[in-house]
Amino acid sequence: MTTKQTFIAALALFLVIAVTVVANARTLVDVKVFPPDIDLTTQRDRQSVVVQAVFDDGVTQDVTMQANYSFADPKLVKLDGYTIHPVADGQTQLKVEYAGRAVMLPVKVKDATKDRPISFKLDVMPVFMKAGCNAGSCHGAARGKDGFMLSLFGYDPDGDYNRIVRELAGRRINLSLPEQSLLLEKGVGKVNHTGGELFKEGGELYNETLRWIKAGAPRDANDIAKPVGIDVTPTRIVLEGENSTQRLTVRARYSDGTTRDVSHLAAYITSNATSADIDEAGVITAHQRGEAFVMARFDTFTVGAQVIVIPKGLKYDWPNPPANNYIDELAYAKLKKLRITPSDLCDDQTFMRRAYIDIAGTLPTREEFDRFMNDKSPDKRTKLVDELLDRKEFAEIWVMKFAELLQIRSDGNRRMSYKATLLYYNWLQERIANNVPMNQIVQELLGSTGGTFTNPATNYYQVETQTLKVAENVAQVFMGMRIQCAQCHNHPFDRWTMDDYYSFAAFFSQVGRKRAEDPREQVIYNRGGGEVNHPIGNRVMAPKFLGGDAPETRGKDRRQILAQWLASPENPFFARNLSNIVWAHFFGQGIIEPVDDVRVSNPPSNPELLDELAKRFTDYNYDFKKLVRDICTSRTYQLATRPNPSNELDSRNFAKQSIRRMRAEVLLDAISQATGTKNKFRGLPLGARAVQIADGNVSTYFLTTFGRATRETVCSCEVVMEPNLSQALHLLNGPTVNAKITQGGVVAKLLAEKNTPQQIIETLYVRTLGRTPTQQETEKLAPLTKETDPAKLKENLEDLFWALMNSKEFIFNH
């Protein structure tokens, strides 16, 4: 090696090192301290703090241990590690310093020398949750466990008190020898306990319970403060490198305005311990690259934080793809955090077919294909989206989708006559076709009164007549939530309590139904009376919005009040849910998936994106055409399905498009369109499209086999997209493809028009796959065209036509 070469090599090495160093060098952009203020009331109160450093590349670091703490008035408080205890009443400030930055926090101390009396609900109930005593597998089971029952996750504290103190008096609580109470001895595993040792003798959980028993196991006063919410911080965590950690702090807010550090009482769970595990103390530890949602549960509240784990020193270059609109910007922001590179933009042919199927439910015709491919304008994709949005087929797709959500289905005159079904469908169709804003449609629907023939919107209350089920359906369809669990107990994985459930159901307790003159028609009216009672204690539940206020309903139709709130910006779930449903249609999955299972423990993969979509949708006055336009013109929608090494295993962050089987109706319409044939469905003229079928009860072998929704339930799982053996057999041998090829006579016509076999092949490709054959395909298929016998030639070309419609490229939208 010459000197020069050595020099160059050294230089190269130096450059590599330099680049690596640059890649790892990051700038601190923010220091955050949680919680935002310190509020200590009574001598037992305390508050731990967490300090988080945020760097310019999105990585965060727990610097609680490295930070310096000082108080303007150090006499008021005592700092023990990173926990602040009260000493004397007054107000001061906490200064947290890290890497030259300082953050000031207000500190308030009240009743520093007073003890707070022990409380069953505030101090003992949390022990059962933290230790797992009231979990469904243990004493929280409906019939309890081993003779002792607690309410599941504490939905009935008064009942729990009675079971502990009053049931089998003296067995569970020993007031004279509190340490020998069975409750404690079982908990620490001193006596035989199926659940083993759940807390340590002398530990905080033990001591609090003991203190309560020593105090005489008192029942709480009726006006005891109730938790009204919890805050879990920090909420955005990006950990770099294995074993890096981040501690959470959980603060509960109470109805009397006080707060309490419940970090030690919260139960912690993670969605993915392989990437981010969390221990009993709320410390997250990073492991494998990936993403997790960690949650803290306290009382009836579950709140989570998003954690992203990336490997240390990962070389990652953001390719800086252009952003067409806000959707791309927000999708990219998440991908950058994950260090994922999006796939390339798909080509024009792929885009065209995808947009046709998704927006209009049809395939492009040969003419449309040629026109688009020959269009050289740079904004031709946007133009195409606009064109498709104005077609009536666009509205028809959404009429079909909403007809599924509204369960438009006749049931042989049991409740829904065919006539009512048709009227209901036509009502919906007329609304959507005229682009009536979604909030208005939903308000009309939920607040409707009158005959099911004269005001078809009232059929909503005819499809389902049970009060509780109506409430569940409304929550699932219009808010995306499954509240069914809360019928019997507080929702184990969401915020909904039984109170929420029954107060929401109370909006539907006064729906009256009576026969109209025509026996097939019902009249839906407001009875003005009728209540929903809570199964525990039989309380009458006043109507209350899910996650909202209790409105004044006296003398009014409760449903109208609900409808006004539900389909309005007041309801944070409405726009989000509809945006998510629309999004899912174009990506094969929602930002929350499944779309009708919104809950704390099933968070959106990209909350910022979903929030922005919801905001825009609201700003657009609930015109979802505009939302669809945003989605389809985004680069994110137009990405190729082909993965790259960085997004290969990702399925939730829209770094590539997904491959989706065409749904039953669209596939049948596509086959009919490609073959130039017509179908006849009950109640529709010859040549109508399957998408237009009004009644969920009308089907064909093809549609049933390919999973058309029966509309028997509101579940998004009604539409079955999974393949099965009967589908394969039917496409191969069944009459749909085979007979339609002959019936439509497409090949015969093309031959008669004197097209060359080569031209015909091209046309068949375009008709089905929306692309021209590749060079390689043309060569491989050439022998088919060599046939001189015209009948044989036609047969060959029809066989190709058959093969094209059996190809996965045809069956799937990609």
Q: How far is the CB of 508 from another protein (least distance, A)?
A: 17
Q: Which residues in 140-159 contact another protein (CB under 8 A)?
A: 140-143, 152
Answer yes or no whether residue 776 interacts with another protein by CB under 8 A.
yes
The residues, ordered by sequence, that sit 6+ positions from 374 with a Cβ below 8 Å of its Cβ are: none
C-alpha to C-alpha distance for 99 and 46, rounded to whole angstroms: 26
406 binds another protein (CB under 8 A): no
- Closest CB 473 distance from another protein, rounded Å: 10
Q: How far apart are CA 653 and CA 574, in angstroms?
A: 22
Applying CB under 8 A, the span of 7-15, 225-233, 281-289, 607-615 interacting with another protein comes to 281-289
- Least distance from another protein to the Cβ atom of residue 73, Å: 37
Considering only residues 162 to 181 of the shown chain, the ones binding another protein according to CB under 8 A are none
- What is the separation of C-alpha 403 from the centre of its chain, rounded to a whole number of angstroms? 21
CB atoms within 10 A of CB 750: 20
Radius of gyration of the chain (CA): 32
What's the min distance (Å) between Cβ of 468 and another protein?
A: 10
Of 67 and 797, which has the nearer Cβ to another protein? 797
What is 536-585 written as a DSSP string?
TTTPEEPP--TTS-----TTS-HHHHHHHHHTSTTSHHHHHHHHHHHHHH
Q: Is 464 in the site for another protein (CB under 8 A)?
A: no
Q: Could you tell me the smallest distance in angstroms from the CB atom of residue 486 to another protein?
A: 8
| Residue 802 structure tokens | 């058959």
Compare residues 199 and 427 and give the one whose CB is closer to another protein: 199
CB atoms within 10 A of CB 93: 14
Q: How far is the CB of 276 from another protein (least distance, A)?
A: 9
643, HSE (Cβ side, Cα atoms, 13 Å)? 12
User: In the bound complex, what is the minimum distance in angstroms from residue 173's beta carbon to another protein?
Assistant: 21
Pattern 677-716, another protein, x by CB under 8 A: ------------------------x----------xx-x-
Task: CB nearer to another protein: give 24 or 724.
Answer: 724
DSSP 84-97: EEE-SSEEEEEEEE
Which of 48, 61, 275, 417 touches another protein (CB under 8 A)?
Answer: 275
**H helical segments located in 455-516:** 460-463, 467-478, 498-505
* Residue 278 neighbours by CB distance under 10 Å: 23
Write down the H helix ranges in 696-807. Answer: 701-705, 725-733, 735-744, 746-752, 757-769, 775-785, 790-806
Indicate the residue among 449 and 651 with the shorter CB distance to another protein. 651
Name the one range near another protein by CB under 8 A: 63-71, 406-414, 476-484, 537-545.
Answer: 476-484
Shortest approach of another protein to residue 674 CB, angstroms? 14
Identify residues 298-337 at the interface with another protein (CB under 8 A).
Answer: 309
Closest contact distance (angstroms) between CB of 653 and another protein is 7
Quick check: 194 binds another protein (CB under 8 A)?
A: yes
Site residues for another protein, 779-798, by CB under 8 A, read 780-781, 784, 795
Residue ranges in 650-669 that form contacts with another protein under rule CB under 8 A: 650-653, 658-661
Q: Does residue 671 interact with another protein by CB under 8 A?
A: no
Among 31, 184, 217, 340, which residue interacts with another protein (rule: CB under 8 A)?
A: 340
Residue 549 tokens read as 């206020």
Q: What dihedral angle (degrees, nearest 10) is formed by the CA atoms of 464, 469, 471, 477?
A: -70
CB-based burial of residue 240 (10 Å sphere; 0-12 exposed, 13-18 middle, 19+ buried)?
A: buried
Output the 3-class SS for 7-19: HHHHHHHHHHHHH
Q: Which of 96, 305 has the CB closer to another protein?
A: 305
Nearer to another protein, 90 or 734 (CB): 734
**Segment 494 to 513, residues that bind another protein, using CB under 8 A:** none
> Using CB under 8 A, which residues numbered 709 to 738 contact another protein?
712-713, 715, 717-718, 720-730, 732-735, 738
* Residue number with CB closer to another protein (275 or 553): 275
CA distances from 315 to 339, 340, 654 (A): 9, 11, 21
Which one, 496 or 681, has the nearer CB to another protein? 496
* 367 is an interface residue for another protein by CB under 8 A: no
Residue 280 engages another protein in binding (rule: CB under 8 A): yes
**Of residues 543-602, those binding another protein (CB under 8 A):** 593-594, 597, 601-602
251 neighbors 262 (Cβ within 8 angstroms): yes
> Please, which residue, 156 or 521, has the CB nearer to another protein?
156
Binding status of residue 739 toward another protein by CB under 8 A? yes
Minimum CB–partner distance for residue 633 and another protein (Å): 24
Q: Is 639 in the site for another protein (CB under 8 A)?
A: no
Q: Does 352 bind another protein (CB under 8 A)?
A: no
Would you count residue 285 as binding another protein (CB under 8 A)?
Answer: no
User: Between residues 746 and 811, which has the closer beta carbon with respect to another protein?
Assistant: 811
526 binds another protein (CB under 8 A): no
Residue 808's H or E segment, with its range, is helix 808-811
Phi and psi, residue 329, nearest 5°: -60, -45
Q: Is 474 in the site for another protein (CB under 8 A)?
A: no
Q: Which of residues 83-142 bind another protein (CB under 8 A)?
A: 131-133, 135-138, 140-142
Is 198 among the residues that bind another protein (CB under 8 A)? Answer: yes
| Single-letter code of the amino acid located at 371 | R
Helix (H) or strand (E) holding 39: strand 38-41
**CB 477, CB 468: distance < 8 Å:** no
Smallest distance, another protein to C-beta of residue 791, A: 12
272 counts as binding another protein under rule CB under 8 A? yes
Which residues 746-775 are close enough to bind another protein by CB under 8 A?
Answer: 774
CA-CA distances (angstroms) from residue 554 to 30, 437, 510, 529? 51, 29, 12, 10
Distance CA 598, CA 772 (A): 42
Which residues have a Cβ under 8 Å from the Cβ of 311 and sit 6 or more positions away?
Answer: 240, 241, 242, 289
- Size, binding site for another protein by CB under 8 A: 113
Report in angstroms the alpha-carbon separations of 317 from 321, 335, 452, 643, 660. 11, 12, 60, 17, 30
Checking DSSP bridges between strand 522-526 and strand 450-451, what pairing results, if any? Answer: antiparallel
User: Sign of dihedral through CA atoms 56, 61, 63, 66?
Assistant: negative
Nearer to another protein, 87 or 273 (CB): 273
Which residues from 12-71 bind another protein, rule CB under 8 A? none
140 vs 227 by CB, closer to another protein: 140
Query: Which amino acid would we find at residue 567?
Result: A
Among 226-234, 262-270, 423-431, 565-573, the segment contacting another protein (CB under 8 A) = 262-270
Contact of 442 with 566, CB cutoff 8 Å: yes
Of 580, 605, 633, 699, the residue at the interface with another protein (CB under 8 A) is 605
Nearer to another protein, 6 or 807 (CB): 807
Pick from 251, 339, 241: nearest CA to 285: 241
CB of 93 to another protein, least distance (A): 35
- Does the protein bind another protein through residue 291 (CB under 8 A)? yes
Contact 503, 541 (CB under 8 A): yes
Q: Are 663 and 703 in contact (CB under 8 A)?
A: no
In angstroms, what is the minimal distance from the CB of 598 to another protein?
11
Q: How far is the CB of 474 from another protein (least distance, A)?
A: 13
Contacting another protein (CB under 8 A), which of 492, 696, 757, 770?
Answer: 492
Number of other CB atoms surrounding residue 552 within 10 Å = 10
By CB under 8 A, residue 808 contacts another protein = yes
